[in-house]
Amino acid sequence: MGLFVGRRGRVSRAWLLVLIMVFSGGLLIGAAVRRDGHPVTPHPSVGEIREEEGPEAPGTTEAPPSQDASSLFGPTPVSKEGDLSRSDEDPFAPERPDGEGLICLVIDDCGFNVDGPRRLVDVAIPMTFAILPRERHSLDVAALLEARGFPAILHLPMEAEGDGTRGDFLVGVAMSDDVISETVAALLDEMPTLVGVNNHRGSRATADERVMEAVLKPLAERGLLFLDSRTSSTSVAFRTARRMGLKTAYNSIFLDHEATLDFMKSQWLRAQKLARSRGWVVVIGHVRPLTITFFETMDRRLQPGLRFVTLPELLEAVYPR
């Protein structure tokens, strides 16, 4: 049957008119959006925008809950702590010190044993040791370092993205200001020889200015220093410490997040280059067998114009009185 034949002829004619109107409207819209000679691209949805941005940037995530991020080797895929050395430049950075470029080595995750820190102390180059609180040998390591004249700081476990409400941390974003400050003060009281604090993990907590103010309050009251480990590119810890008047610096290079001596050597060369160009650099390593071997066997001669310093010495140089 044709469009205009039979009892449905009237309905068919109506549909024909609708098709003609739709076609004509499409022609008019097409002419309008192309009147400047360029096709108009529809705005993408939120999901499309996220896909266009590509993989998550290095350093924006940390280890999964209850997993020590420092034990994860390799570059910075999703769900792993990253090397943020590409984000060294900061408008709030301390001023360049006069004279030689300064290299500050910080050894994280001390407290599980005494042998590792003792071997590193015997290397006999300036280092600063970050001690995890309430581990089996935390107090023993603090005593060793005091006896040998090496500075130690509190390696404070802080909440990471993905931790949930009961992750492996002592400071979290759900805690009140008073509880955070009291927790930090109590941990410092347990090891009174500590000269400051740096964060262990903490991508979520270090991105929260309120949390960081509460963490830093007891440090400011005691005249202690702070190091932003920069386990996340979203950290506001360093800037908050600057605003509160603390002597502070930030990590630029993770020495050993790939478990090979060749990688550590390449990171070590990068550290020296950055110290020369910027005047100072903080490098974080860990108490691991291969890292200890690296320091025991490395060429300890620095490039001309560079020298080792501890973290207190670095901050005295970049914040002169």
Question: Which of the residue ranges 19-33, 59-73, 167-181, 197-211 would you say has the lowest mean pLDDT?
Answer: 59-73
In degrees, rounded to 5, the angle at the alpha carbon of residue 79 between the alpha carbons of residues 75 and 84 is 45
Q: What is the pLDDT of residue 90?
A: 57
Tell me: pLDDT of 27 over 60: no
Mean pLDDT, the chain, whole residue set: 79
Per DSSP, what are the bridge partners of residue 226?
197, 248
Structure tokens at 175: 């805690």
pLDDT at 30: 45
**pLDDT at 160 exceeding the cut of 80:** yes
**82: nearest Cα among 252, 223, 245:** 252
User: Average pLDDT for residues 174-188, to the nearest whole number?
Assistant: 98
Ranking 92-101, 153-162, 220-229 by mean pLDDT, the lowest is: 92-101
Which pLDDT value is given to residue 6?
43
The pLDDT of residue 36 is 37
Confidence grade of residue 213 (pLDDT, cut at 50, 70, 90) = very high
Superfamily of domain 69-318: Glycoside hydrolase/deacetylase (3.20.20.370)
For the chain, the straight-line distance linking the first and the last C-alpha, in angstroms and rounded, comes to 98
Round to whole Å and give the CA distance between 205 and 115. 31
Read off φ and ψ for residue 152, nearest 5 degrees: -130, 150
pLDDT of residue 5: 38
Task: Tell me which H or E stretch contains 19.
Answer: helix 9-33
pLDDT tens profile 186-211? 999 999 999 999 999 999 999 999 99
pLDDT at residue number 199: 98
**pLDDT, position 16:** 52
Find out whether 120 and 287 touch, Cβ atoms under 8 Å: yes
Q: What are phi and psi of 155, to 5 degrees?
A: -95, 90
Q: Locate the domains of the chain by residue range.
A: 69-318
Q: What is the pLDDT of residues 35-90, one digit of tens each?
A: 333 333 332 222 222 222 222 223 333 333 333 333 222 222 222 344 444 345 55
Residues 161 and 213: beta-carbon distance below 8 Å: no
Burial 25-62 (b: 16+ CB within 10 A, else e): eeeeeeeeeeeeeeeeeeeeeeeeeeeeeeeeebbbbb
**What would the DSSP string read from start to end of 125-179?**
S--EEEEPTTSTTHHHHHHHHHHHT--EEEEEEE--TT-TTS-S-SB-TTS-HHH
Instruction: Take residue 88 and report the two structure tokens written for it.
Output: 């060294």
pLDDT reported for residue 161: 94
What six digits make up the tokens of 119? 């071997």
pTM for the model: 0.74
Average pLDDT over residues 133-162: 97
- Report pLDDT for 20: 55
Residue 64 CB-density burial (10 A; 0-12 exposed, 13-18 middle, 19+ buried)? middle
